[in-house]
Structure 1
């Protein structure tokens, strides 16, 4: 009798503990799986129009907003499929086990279904409302990222190239949507800048997971921290070199600006790279969006660089 009474008293206390902490429902889980904090990466769609000085031309912002939404939908589709595939492995990770799919908040079949729907609808809408090249690029992005989820993320060096290409596609799609030619300096600086951030992220993950079991990126055990450090340092150097060559190239533009903003913007760009490299060197650049959004000094340098770059493009 006493044991039965004790069990009855404990039963109401145990039921709430069986539910995952912080459970907020399926819609909230799907939104979290779509990584809203990572949507800042898709702002790169404005890079090419901004670099060409076409950002505030008529109807440009409307078209870029559409491209941003479509690319965000494609990225969300990839995140949903990726988390569905990696649910078991994520449960062994100290942080990723809290992701909605791994935690059981979003069932795996639902993640696959929503991801598949977004992956089909986004290119179709692009084919209807945008130039054909935009739909083609979105389709290529989806194919490449899904191949990455399935197998390419297990191939040395190729995994870095695929993620870097994803960033480069974000930067290219805005120009392609508006028919803006993409300069070689834009592609070099953007591509190697992306490789810098991607390899710094991998380096930080490798440092943080060193000696720990349950790493979700199996390839981290095959990369050495020395190699990843070499890659992000090389990429940072090439990105800076490419930007400086753009800044020093006159290109036949007459000197009508008050100050040499093109050349002065090199200082802010280099400072931004050096500031980000501090976090990379510490092994704390595992979440690039956190570094960019939370570090006030880096944010201030970024604002100064944007202002100088805008003045240079406008030739003010």
Structure 2
């Protein structure tokens, strides 16, 4: 087929070009989240070929397309070309049903070609399909990846979008490159954001057992704590990537999570998939080589619990906040294991209650946002209704005040033990904690709370001053 009535056929790739993501990987993680017990089916499907694999995935799940990270700059250009008479064709190696859903949503494409049956429409097969329809040299092609180089050999014009490494130079060897769209942010900054390096501060909880045991000047303990901090942080980043991959659709509907690199498409999704196991392997290797086996056991529990949380527990009412509280508490237990310091009853009881309160803050903030937006249905990916947020405030506030009670009982207990020289100074920490928790809940009620209250505590000036006063009270009590 040649050009129709003199019009130009402008063929556009989907993955990495029209959308800043990989639809096969997206569909894979959506399948794992929806049907985790069918994990081993994936291997059987893959043995029958990529096209069969894509088809079976699409039979099981189809991702929502209204919130995909579309390349807005490219869409504007495509609309201009269409208004000037070009016929737009969406041609992709993704399953044809996904391509058709995208085309129906955007309403700018005149034709859709995708993988179906036994034909995986990629590289030379895509070129052959386009040549058979329009003839060699009778279509322009917009792509981004190495397989697209095969298609450009038969295209009249070459257009490149956010090219993979080496693609742009290779495309220029084939002919003149007409349009180049490159709107990616700096890679290193984006990668660090995806790893959530700023949240590694949570892992400072590893040092709590050393502080409680009055051994913060023990170099051997601190060295083990530092190694544990590094291993736990790498493992946590692996978990964050896994969680983001599982929650792509939900995050894109969230007021702030939609800006996360994987959800926004600013970090190639395959990079996240590859980094996730690599970080975990390094973390496990560090733990196995340099720390007691008990730390590795706790790290394993943390990862398994987080995996269960990502796959299922985060959608179970109340069990989700209890699991979040346990994930914070596990950090303290990991520190105790790394430094061979048994965690005390008081530390564990205090951690459980205060982290349960902060977990409720996290859910309360999400529900408050949903309520302000007028939503009445369950929050995306959660088991709560916006109308539940008053109850969460009551439960979360109660848990927080229980942590103050535990702290008071601890101070009363150590006052008789002789562990501190001036234990009466420690009573100052109770009103400080009451003030801080009450303020956290007040800010959450006003809608001024960060999605993660731990991150809020690290950034908030008042919270930092409360921490300084806590340290002074404990220090004076110890002198």
Name the TM-score, length of structure 1 as normaliser: 0.86
Q: Quick one: distance in 1 between partners of 2:446 and 2:267?
A: 34
Name the residue aligned to 2:473: 308
- Spell out the pairing of 1:79-98 with structure 2 (5 A cutoff): 79-98=240-259
Alpha-carbon deviation of 1:252? 4.0
Match of 1:23 among 170, 185, 199: 185
Q: Deviations over 1:55-85 (max 9, x none)?
A: 1113222211111111111110011111122
Q: For the Cα contact (< 8 Å) 2:325–2:359, is it kept in 1?
A: yes
Flag the structure with larger Rg: 2
Q: For the Cα contact (< 8 Å) 1:77–1:118, is it kept in 2?
A: yes
Q: Quick one: distance in 2 between partners of 1:65 and 1:54?
A: 14
Alpha-carbon deviation of 1:230? 2.0
Alpha-carbon deviation of 1:192? 0.7
Q: Quick one: distance in 2 between partners of 1:223 and 1:195?
A: 20
1:293 aligns with 2:451: no
Consecutive unaligned residues in structure 1, runs of 5 or more: none
Q: 1:277 to 1:53 in 2, by over 3 A?
A: same
1:71 aligns with 2:232: yes
Q: Quick one: distance in 1 between partners of 2:419 and 2:235?
A: 43
Alpha-carbon deviation of 1:140? 0.8
Structure with greater contact order relative to length (CA < 8 Å, sep ≥ 6): 1
Q: Quick one: distance in 1 between partners of 2:327 and 2:341?
A: 19
Name the residue aligned to 1:121: 282
Q: For the Cα contact (< 8 Å) 2:428–2:473, is it kept in 1?
A: yes
Name the residue aligned to 2:121: none
Q: Quick one: distance in 2 between partners of 1:130 and 1:250?
A: 31
Q: Quick one: distance in 1 between partners of 2:422 and 2:401?
A: 30
User: Aligned pair count?
Assistant: 306
1:276 aligns with 2:440: yes
Q: 1:80 to 1:267 in 2, by over 3 A?
A: same
Alpha-carbon deviation of 1:251? 5.7
Q: Quick one: distance in 2 between partners of 1:151 and 1:58?
A: 41
1:177 aligns with 2:338: yes
Alpha-carbon deviation of 1:242? 0.3
Q: Deviations over 1:208-257 (max 9, x none)?
A: 12124895433233771122112211211210110010011246434973
Whose helix fraction is larger, Structure 1's or Structure 2's? 1
The alignment's C-alpha RMSD in Å is 3.0
Q: 1:152 to 1:290 in 2, by over 3 A?
A: closer
Whose strand fraction is larger, Structure 1's or Structure 2's? 2
Question: Partner of 1:260: helix, strand, or coil?
Answer: helix
1:206 aligns with 2:371: no
Name the TM-score, length of structure 2 as normaliser: 0.58
